Amino acid sequence: MSIRWQDYPNEGLYDELINERKNPRKPAKRLANYLAKMGSEELQQRRQLADSNVQDMGVSFTVYTDEGNIDRAWPFDIIPRIIPAKEWEQVANGLKQRLRALNMFINDLYHGQEIIKDGVVPAYLIEKSKNFRPECIGVKPAFSVWAHICGSDLVRDANGQMYVLEDNLRVPSGVSYMLENRAITKRVLPEVFSRENVLPVDDYPSQLFDTLAALSPRRVKQPEIVVLTPGIFNSAYFEHAFLAQQMGAELVEGSDLMVDTDDCVYMRTIKGRERVDVIYRRIDDMFIDPEAFNKDSMLGVPGLIRAWKKGNVALANAPGAGVADDKVIYAYVPKIIEYYLGESALIPNVETYLCNDAEQRDYVLKNLDKLVVKPANESGGYGMLVGPHSTKKDQDTFATLIKKNPRNYIAQPTLSLSTAPTLVDGGVLEPRHMDLRPFILQSRGLYCTTGGLTRVAMVKGSLVVNSSQGGGSKDTWIVDTEGK
Amino acid sequence: MLSRVAERLYWAARYLERAENTARLVSVYDNLLYDLPAGMVEISWFNLISLNSSAEEFTKRYKVQNERNVVKFLLQDEKHLGSLSASVRYVRENFRTSRDVIPPSAWEQINELNIYVSKNAKTALARNGRHDFLSEVIERSQSLNGLLTGTLMRDEAWEFIMLGRFIERADMTTRILDAGAAVLENSEAFAHSNPAQVIWGNVLRSQGAYMSYRRAIKSIVRGSDVAEFLLYDTHIPRSVTFCSDQINQAATKLAQDSGKKQPPKMKLPRFEIEKEEDLGADFRNYLNDLQLSIGETHNHICNTWFARD
């Protein structure tokens, strides 16, 4: 059975591939025609091929459940999402601009706090931030950069406008899936792929390597770079191992490292101890060093913060960088960009109401059924209220929570996220909502991935894209329609 | 190289070898069923359990010591840490935690093998599906070993894989010889046929060594010659001597590279085998001593390279 785009139910939605007149958008034309010809039986066969590839490639993520941790196959939808290269160039510039400003902001917070003295950001935000680390005051990381790896979530609303929804500056994950999605697509839709001018994504590991190598405190030819993982039970373990392998770096756990009396970090090898220069840590601040933070942490390395403060080892991301991915700080990012760079933000923020402000809080409490309420410091989509999909009881619970701790909550209008055709049961293509997480790197230079990880809410009408909550993913094609 | 990664590679190689050799071990008995005339010899499948020193574990979970249960225990039982499917799963787990040093295609192959075993191990419980399953596992293990041999850099990672592979292989070769000796012990009361030739022939075939034996020994299959061959021949890649030579080479190289003065060295006590009758109880005790000596070498390897301070 062939597919007719005229039957595609995208009414009232912004679809990334099919426009409101139900014609394929220009960069998606070839793909859409090909899919239409292919038909639903063939598409279902391709999906099976993708599923078995995911299993063979061992692409998985770990889900925490009551019965223990389950290693689950990565949910992948074979229909790619397409963004024109010209649009992407602008988005990438906007993301780089954002990270540059955020790093200046973090550095300022741990030094002169000029931005607070100038009254641009209120002092209480920092004083009450869960992710501000007084231990980091005065530390001078290389290039004054604290967040070396940033994953920002982008969404497009019903009008086609792209917004930044949040910035992840602590331990953002997902980039390995972006790379694996591309590898799977090449195997599953080879004939489509070879005819399109899709920009490659696979230079990320070398860019990450260069970003990290530039941080080495020792001026040596081959700095020792390690990826520090909490271990096999972490939900992103697959990614930690993947990135270490792709970069040719050691994958270490806390117990493989030690800090000696010279305040340098060493790893335990078959030859004895070897000095470590750069640690790409995928452990949260609070668990990274039992000596400095959480004393009960079994994951960290005692003395690591000491070594870092002395400048004997580089940590990426630097401890304390998370202060800027607080969702309340998010509301100030456009002002932060203006303050440090004298430029206006290239990508707009989603309108955000701060519950700490009496007037805005009143508005939020009166409109809980329309808004999305988020706690300031959670990730993975936990602890959220999606107004239009919530019960009166949920709304009352959140009203109480907000009144009790207004600083900890923000609210945003419920966006109608953009969609793209997604293969559902019966070989039918239906629109599903999605977001996009590109990754931005900064040390000596700046880099932004070509596209990013597209996450899809596989359930009809749902806006929750997190893999821990039933989300799937798609390959993201940045297509150059001018070049060819 | 991290001590932890070295240890995981060592174990990955051991488990891969164990999976393959468990398949070989079961195939010895499987083939005997067809080769020995019905009623002539009572093949006790339970031998395979006792010679792996797992009788206690087996009786805890299985009441009947029959073919089906023994095969299930050896091939499919996830709770039995020495079973083929558990071994394959541990290769995968160890690869998964050392993915930064193994080739990506090796990771894919072990995933495929793991999926194959978990889907198909049950088909091997019945005799008609067993042969296909066992030879598929052996082939895929060999293909993974070939991939590592053909692509892995000859650095420490390789040497630890060699150590793991040959420690396990040496151990399993002694157990497969023991499997042969055990059947023979139970089959003294034959009147007019010599099952020895059939039994030792299958032991050789399970080790892929039948043709080599014929070329090297140039005589009929005789138990004493087969035992000598699989224990002491320096050219056949599954003999205990060959394995111990490989272990000593890898250990010496690793010791040089990592500045250790006393490399682990495997010493093989020798057992005089002249005639068929020498393959009785004393021989089986000797095989047991060999296993202990392999165990000591293993401990020495652990203490030298895997200890954390």
* Distance separating alpha carbons of residues A479 and A86, to the nearest angstrom: 9
Q: Which residues of chain A have pLDDT under 50?
A: 484
* Distance separating alpha carbons of residues B131 and B168, to the nearest angstrom: 23
Both structure tokens of A357: 């402000």
- Asked if residues B3 and B308 have their Cβ atoms less than 8 Å apart, the reply is yes
Q: How far is A442 from chain B (nearest CA, A)?
A: 24
- Residue B196's nearest CA partner among B3, B32, B6, B5 is B32
Q: Identify all chain A residues contacting B108, using CB atoms and an 8 Å cutoff.
A: 56-58
Helices B104-120, B84-96: axis angle to 10 degrees equals 150
* Distance separating alpha carbons of residues B231 and B278, to the nearest angstrom: 14
Both structure tokens of A328: 């309340």
Distant-in-sequence, close-in-space partners of A199: CB < 8 Å, separation ≥ 6: A85, A450, A451, A477, A478, A479, A480
Residue B107 in contact with partner chain A when CB distance is under 8 A: yes
**Nearest 5°: phi and psi at B102?**
-100, 150
Q: What is the dihedral of CA A183, A189, A194, A200, to 10 degrees?
A: -30
- Residue A19's nearest CA partner among A414, A420, A417 is A420
Distant-in-sequence, close-in-space partners of B255: CB < 8 Å, separation ≥ 6: B261, B262, B263, B304
ipTM: 0.73
Which residue from A minimizes the CA distance to B303?
Answer: A270
- Verify whether the Cβ–Cβ distance B2 to A56 is below 8 Å: no
Which residue from A minimizes the CA distance to B1?
Answer: A269
Q: How far is B287 from chain A (nearest CA, A)?
A: 32
Pick from A227, A256, A271: CB nearest B259: A271
Sign of CA dihedral B203, B208, B211, B214: negative
Tens-place pLDDT, residues A274-324: 999 999 999 998 899 988 887 777 788 999 999 999 999 999 999 999 999
Q: Identify all chain B residues contacting A58, using CB atoms and an 8 Å cutoff.
A: 92, 96, 107-108, 111
Amino acid A453 reads L
Q: Identify all chain B residues contacting A252, using CB atoms and an 8 Å cutoff.
A: 2
- Asked if residues A350 and A165 have their Cβ atoms less than 8 Å apart, the reply is yes
Pick from A58, A241, A268: CB nearest B2: A268
Give the number of domains in chain B. 1
* Distance separating alpha carbons of residues A244 and A118, to the nearest angstrom: 42
pLDDT of residue B38: 64
CA A164-A168-A169 angle, to 5 degrees, is: 130
Q: How far is B256 from chain A (nearest CA, A)?
A: 10
Domains and CATH numbers, chain A: 90-163+200-341 (3.40.50.11290), 353-413 (3.30.1490.270)
- Asked if residues B26 and B130 have their Cβ atoms less than 8 Å apart, the reply is yes
Q: Identify all chain A residues contacting B92, using CB atoms and an 8 Å cutoff.
A: 58
Which is it for strands A314-316 and A278-281: parallel, antiparallel or unpaired? parallel
- Contact map slice: B 223-282 vs A, CB within 8 A: 254, 257-259
Helices A85-109, A333-341: axis angle to 10 degrees equals 80
Secondary structure letter of residue B269 according to DSSP: -
- Verify whether the Cβ–Cβ distance A267 to B309 is below 8 Å: no
Q: Identify all chain B residues contacting A271, using CB atoms and an 8 Å cutoff.
A: 1, 257-259
Q: How far is A235 from chain B (nearest CA, A)?
A: 14
pLDDT of residue A251: 93
Residue A57 in contact with partner chain B when CB distance is under 8 A: yes
- Contact map slice: B 109-138 vs A, CB within 8 A: 111-112, 115
* Distance separating alpha carbons of residues B32 and B38, to the nearest angstrom: 10
**Nearest 5°: phi and psi at A85?**
-60, -35
Measure Cα distances from A189 to A42, A49, A472 in Å.
11, 10, 18
Both structure tokens of A277: 């220069």
A435 in the Ramachandran plot: left (φ > 0), alpha (ψ -120 to 50) or beta?
beta
A483 in the Ramachandran plot: left (φ > 0), alpha (ψ -120 to 50) or beta?
alpha
- Verify whether the Cβ–Cβ distance B115 to A232 is below 8 Å: no
User: Is the pTM here over 0.90, yes or no?
Assistant: no
- Asked if residues A79 and A35 have their Cβ atoms less than 8 Å apart, the reply is yes
Sign of CA dihedral B159, B165, B171, B173: negative
- Asked if residues A360 and A366 have their Cβ atoms less than 8 Å apart, the reply is no
Instruction: Note down pLDDT in tens along chain B; length 309 residues.
Output: 899 999 999 999 999 999 999 999 898 888 877 777 666 556 678 888 887 888 899 999 999 988 899 999 999 998 898 899 999 999 999 998 888 889 989 999 999 999 999 999 999 998 889 999 999 999 999 999 999 999 999 999 999 999 999 999 999 999 989 988 887 876 654 544 677 888 898 889 888 898 899 888 888 888 999 999 999 999 999 999 999 999 999 999 999 988 888 889 998 889 988 888 888 899 999 999 999 999 999 999 999 998 765
Pick from A56, A241, A255: CB nearest B96: A241
pLDDT of residue A41: 92
pLDDT of residue A66: 61
Length of chain A: 484
* Distance separating alpha carbons of residues A371 and A352, to the nearest angstrom: 10
Q: Give a three-class secondary structure readout of chain A.
A: CCCCHHHCCCCCCCECCECCCCCECHHHHHHHHHHHHHHHHHHHHHHHHHHHHHHHCCCEEEEEECCEEEEEECCEEEEEEEEEHHHHHHHHHHHHHHHHHHHHHHHHHCCCCHHHHCCCCCHHHHHCCCCCCHHHCCCCCHHHCCCCEEEEEEEECCCCCEEEEEEECCCCCCHHHHHHHHHHHHHHCHHHHHHCCECCCCCHHHHHHHHHHCCCCCCCCCCCEEEEECCCCCCCHHHHHHHHHHHCCEEEEHHHEEECCCCCEEEEECCEEEECCEEEECCCHHHHCCCCCCCCCCCCCCCHHHHHHCCCCEEECCCCHHHHHCHHHHCCHHHHHHHHHCCCCCCCECCCEECCCHHHHHHHHHCCCCEEEEECCCCCCCCCEEHHHCCHHHHHHHHHHHHHCHHHEEEEECCCCCEEEEEEHHHEEEEEEEEEECEEEECCCEEECCCCEEEEECCCCCCCCCHHHCEEEEEEEEECCCCC
pLDDT of residue A56: 84
Helices B104-120, A29-56: axis angle to 10 degrees equals 70
Whether residue A317 is preceded by a cis peptide bond, meaning omega within 30 degrees of 0, is: yes
- Asked if residues A101 and A340 have their Cβ atoms less than 8 Å apart, the reply is yes
- Asked if residues A276 and A304 have their Cβ atoms less than 8 Å apart, the reply is no
Residue B155 in contact with partner chain A when CB distance is under 8 A: no
Largest alpha-carbon pair distance within chain A?
Answer: 71
* Distance separating alpha carbons of residues A425 and A430, to the nearest angstrom: 10
Could you tell me the strand order of the sheet in which A272-275 lies?
Answer: A257-259, A265-269, A272-275
> Which residues span the domain enclosing B187?
3-306
Measure Cα distances from A458 to A412, A464, A465, A467, B77 in Å.
23, 9, 8, 10, 36
* Distance separating alpha carbons of residues B17 and B172, to the nearest angstrom: 9
